[in-house]
Chains A and B, each alone.
Chain A
Amino acid sequence: MSARRVVVLGYGMAGARLADEIRNRDPEGERVALTVVGAEPHPAYNRVLLSAVVAGTMQPGSVRLHDEDWSERNHVELRRNVAARRIDRPNRTVELDDGTTAAYDSLVLATGSRPWLPPVEGLVGDDGEPADGALAFRSLDDCDRILDAARVGAPVAVLGGGLLGLEAARGLAGRGNRVTVVHPAPHPMERQLDSGAGRVLARTLEASGIDFRLGRAAATYLPGDGLKLDDGSHVAAELLVVSTGVRAETALATEAGLAVEAGVVVDDALRTSDGRIHAIGDCAQHPAAPGGLVQPAWEQASVLADLLTGADTASRYRGTSVVTRLKAKGVDVTALGDTAPAADTADDGTEVVCVDDPARGRYAKLVVRNEKVAGAIVLGVPDAAATITQLHDRGIRVPEDRLALLLGRGLPSAAAAAASPADLPGSAIVCRCNSVSKAKIVDAYRAGASTVDDIAQRTRASTGCGSCRDAVCGIAEWLTSTD
């Protein structure tokens, strides 16, 4: 039996991951003959790391997912700098823009998404691309352009206060740029955060040098000058970063007559309306997959690799449980699940616990339903966020003390309370290494051991690791003082 010919259109995070997953299951290419077509000239790279490139802590080379000889080592026919022009479904071929065609048994669309540009006067050039000095923050080339254009200290405007816009803003502020975020909603990240959390987030980011213009839309873009907002005010910017969302790249699918809504419609086997064509990642639309995130794409790649290689023909993609994390230095934001339950929740066993501490940049809201985490928003309490996320992901019952959970490490330690030797119970172990209780030390003292060394001699307290020596000393002093 000859290998199944699989052609993957797209060499981004989804396409590259799919190729890796296929080769993990079929290293020698015995079951799948793999062709990957990518429009960008670079090897595939990790989009998640672009903010580190902008921040200047990572070299562009370090964000690559594959090295130059990856395709050769892994028996993959890689066509870079080539775009697909048309899918010929009856003949099962793809026409490429270099004039060649690729024949497939199975075709995978991993074409991703493209930035959506809002209707701002002057923003879009005649070619449909952003005008001079404006760019989306999506690709390695965008990073290069940001680094070229945004000299340190220069004013930069970021249009869009969603997750990616804020990450870009924080990265630029970290480089020393004066950053203004223009956002139409009353608080940033309004899709994930309630107003309390959004307020704390804006305040925290303002402390790192980012200005916000909230509840305002941009009206006009003037290259080199900045933005004019809908209230007539002006935002100075030598560079404009647009981060107002993306749209699935579906042109090929539409043209080929596949079912397309916001994205290419797929089922749990990642099949489009043509059973020989699959779609994964940002270009695909699955009812339980949120868009714009890498995790669903990777989970889909794993399932599809199972199916295409025959490693597990029962494998299915059932959706991704999303945990939103803002990856920005000094700002810890986590949002997951249903964070806005109906106002009256007592009847259905839903509890909402909230801590609001804006002065210290902390906000935490926990929604518990049937003893499980139904949703949460956590700002500025990273260890609590990590714990809550584990409870959520693993379906673990929430501990009874909900408030302690939200406070995380901020919870006052029980150990600190027992500082006074007088308050320790007699059974309290003072020297763990030698199982010496306070009562034994008191007995030794009463029997004439008045110094720490005498007590050590008699009880062995402090003769192990020595870390209780101060405590033993404190007990001896307390006993002396009460004599």
Chain B
Amino acid sequence: MTLTAATPSGPDVPGAHDRPGRRGGNETRTDTHCPYCALQCGMTLTPAADVAPREFPTSRGGLCQKGWTSASLLDSPARLTTPLVRTGGELRPASWDGALDLIAARLTGLQAEHGRDAVAVFGGGGLTNEKAYLLGKFARVALGTSQIDYNGRFCMSSAAAAGLRAFGVDRGLPFPVTDLAGADVIVLVGSNPAETMPPFLQQLQGAAAAGGLVVVDPRRTPTAEQANVHLAPAPGTDLALALGVLHATVAEGLIDEAYVAERTAGFDETWRIAARYWPEHVERITGVSAADQRALARMLAGAGNAYVLTARGAEQHATGVDTVSAWIDVALAHGLPGRAGSGYGCLTGQGNGQGGREHGQKADQLPGYRKLADPAAREHVAGVWGVDPDSLPAPGRSAYELLDVLGRPEGPKAMLVFGSNVVVSAPRSQRVTDRLEALDFLVTADVVLSETAAMADVVLPVTQWAEEDGTMTNLEGRVLLRRKAIDPPEGVRSDLDVLAGLAERLGQPAGRFPVDAEEVFTELRAASAGGVADYSGVTYERLRAGEALHWPVPAAGHSGTPRLFLDGFAHPDGRARFVAVEHTGPAEPPDAEFPLQATTGRLLQHYQSGAQTRAVPELAEAVPEACIEVHPDTAARAGVAVGEVATVESRRGAVTAPVRCVPSMRPDVVFVPFHFPGGQRANLITNPVLDPTSRMPEFKVCAARLVPAGAAESAEQQGAGGAS
């Protein structure tokens, strides 16, 4: 492979050196990783905060614009450096002691009045393993609340649930990313890595060169443009497409019968459904031609090594788990999972989307990917924590259900938010904003004044990636050490420090909540020992020495598990499960009133809610605001022109942004990126209907209409008095 990106030692980009070298002239470079997505690209950082890419297997020396500019947030004017407390309706600087004392007093008071569950905790998939772990422990032990969940619910939960039921274990990629380079066919379902994790594209070049890079996406994304085959199903029909491909696989005699017989269970029941989805039938549902469905089945069957990879496009639906299951069924029919050089995987989004879902900030979960409802798990973790297992709360509400009940009689009265900007990232954002306003007390810990922080009663300024030690688990389940490279600004504390300070004020014994990351990690190792995601053999020392450790690592001498399932799947009988799933389609189909389908997604220059990247001048300059992407005819028929501001309305609200005409769009689809605040929030229109298993909202499709700005009637106002 010769496509490895150039790795200059330092860019000569206007602005890159304008920054005052406030942290001295020491040229020592610290090896670290990019703060954004789950690819966790390798980079180095000087104490003067100069970024340079470095060789690392997942990123191969590449960095996108987000990574190159990531250090600019370290000393950005947008950076919070002092606690803020709302007084007289305004956030004003306060002392740390004053802020923490206030929080402890308010939480104690609300819990005394309304019970333990009066306080909720909301975490994030960008938090380090240590923070995620300690946050879960803080909620269950220091607060004793069941009401904790995190934004990974909006990200990875559908793939996680589908992976669990198929394989018995959920690890995004159950193989190293670099294995992909040896595949001749790779099918990306609802994934746009050319924008979301650009250096990852290097891993796809082998398949592309072999003519086998397939992208399934309703939009012709930059990734689809690079694919050999682009299949564009109607939004919300990915599941049907998988059934069509499975049908073609069987009908053309392409199924791997020996593998299905020896390594799987449940095929017959799955086939009874797939048998009803012959490609011509599926063509009418999806708009993907029967010929293309059959061609994909043949490509997969003819490949030496092949992968099926899903991402948010397949997963962020009220049928997200079933959709992923349907694609896993395709992979199983072709004998891919559990075979070296082939497989199924999910491309994790957030930086620590993997680790963040393993260590206990999820409503139903304890560290080590243990289940909170499992008595043995409770006993083990309670033992590590030195508390009575019976004192641990029961599983609580999932993310959107939690947000939706805030400030209601039956819901929490206060919430602590760490590393999440739900005002922008949660579905049906106006409703979520209303719920946050209804709280008696809102606390956020963040690096900038995000839209959620701006609503808080107390805002705590915390450290970011380069200013602290911590581990991240990347998209392939490899545990990475992100080392401190730079001193944090005066006045900023780590999230661990915040939790320890609050715990102490809430009456926890000294030392139960350590502030040192390595110490927390040592405790996490013990808590995860024997669990599915067993980190007990991972140490900072081994990570510092550069060992590539993929979990499970059940002992100090264990070299990790780069490839899962080679000898068997994690179900008791060692077999993977076909799961019989049925296509039902989007929860809100288009109709005469809302004839278009709106879908949401990401742009290269911004990350998640944009709280960080919008504060980076170079990124904000490249893409300063949201846009509404539509087919030129759709724009013309709505009476709006390129560059004009228009409104996309749904039954829940309206988002307003300039129009961009894209001839490759389906004429019945409108796309809005979700990184932007205020009236440009794509989530003002999204449908919060949830997947019954993963509780994932349906971000990727809702019925909508396009109108010139100003012509919109506010659906939210119209519906304000009614039921949801």
Contact = CB atoms under 8 A, between A and B. Distances in A.
A252 interface: no
A415 B225 CA distance: 10
Contact of A394 (B13, B275, B668): B668
A386 B6 contact: no
Contacts of A387: 287
B637 interface: yes
Given A397-B667, A435-B65, A386 B287 contact: yes
A108 B252 CA distance: 35
Contact of A464 (B12, B13, B199, B631): B199
B466 interface: no
A285 interface: no
9 contacts: A58-B253, A67-B272, A332-B290, A394-B668, A434-B64, A460-B13, A465-B62, A465-B201, A467-B205
A49 B3 contact: no
A464 B667 contact: no
A391 B284 CA distance: 10
A19 to B, nearest CB: 13
A46 B276 contact: yes
A396 B11 contact: no
A370 interface: no
A75 interface: no
Given A463-B5, A463-B7, A465-B194, A67 B65 contact: no
A435 B198 CA distance: 12
Given A383-B292, A462-B5, A464-B64, A49 B202 contact: no
Interface stretch (A143-151, A220-228, A351-359, A451-459): A451-459
Contact of A432 (B4, B194, B234, B663): B194
Interface string B284-321: 10111111100000000000000000000000000000
B156 interface: no
B64 to A, nearest CB: 4
A322 B382 CA distance: 62
Contacts of B268: 67
Nearest to B60: A466
Interface string A444-482: 000000001100111110111111010000000000000
A463 B68 contact: yes
B291 A382 contact: yes
Contacts of B61: 463
B508 to A, nearest CB: 45
Interface in B164-197: 194-195
Interface of A: 46, 48-49, 52, 56-58, 62-67, 295, 323, 325, 327, 332, 382-383, 385-387, 389-391, 393-394, 396-397, 399-400, 414-415, 432-435, 452-453, 456-460, 462-467, 469
Contacts of B671: none
B198 A465 contact: yes
Interface in B641-696: 663, 667-668
Categorize the interface residue count of chain B.
Answer: 35 or more
Given A389-B284, A435-B622, 4 more contacts: A433-B65, A460-B13, A464-B63, A466-B202
B599 to A, nearest CB: 15
Contacts of B289: 332, 382-383, 385-386
Contacts of B199: 433, 464-466
B68 A390 contact: no
B226 interface: yes
Contact of B5 (A56, A57, A332, A464): A464
A27 B617 CA distance: 59
A232 to B, nearest CB: 39
A466 B287 contact: no
A274 B184 CA distance: 62
Given A386-B287, A389-B287, A432-B604, A457 B64 contact: no
Contacts of B278: 48-49, 327
A467 B605 CA distance: 17
Contacts of A382: 289-292
Nearest to A325: B280
A462 B198 CA distance: 11
Closest 6 CB pairs of A and B: A57-B253, A465-B201, A382-B289, A466-B5, A382-B291, A457-B8
Interface in B347-393: none
A295 B287 CA distance: 17
B53 interface: yes
Contacts of B60: 466
Contacts of A415: 225
A391 B631 CA distance: 14
A399 B667 contact: yes
B252 A57 contact: yes
A460 B65 contact: yes
Given A394-B668, A432-B604, A435-B65, A325 B5 contact: no
Contacts of A49: 251, 275, 278
A63 B53 CA distance: 55
A325 B290 contact: yes
B284 A467 contact: no
Contact of A456 (B8, B222, B590): B8
A400 B201 CA distance: 35
Given A383-B292, A399-B633, A467 B226 contact: yes
B53 A463 contact: yes
Given A397-B633, A399-B633, A458-B11, A466 B275 contact: no
Contacts of B405: none
Most buried by B among A58, A64, A432, A465: A465
Contact of B668 (A389, A396, A400): A396
Interface in B240-264: 250-253
Most buried by B among A332, A459, A466: A466
Interface string B103-131: 00000000000000000000000000000
A66 B273 CA distance: 10
Contacts of A390: 234, 284, 287
B288 A386 contact: yes
B668 A58 contact: no
Contacts of A323: 284
B271 interface: yes
Contacts of B699: none
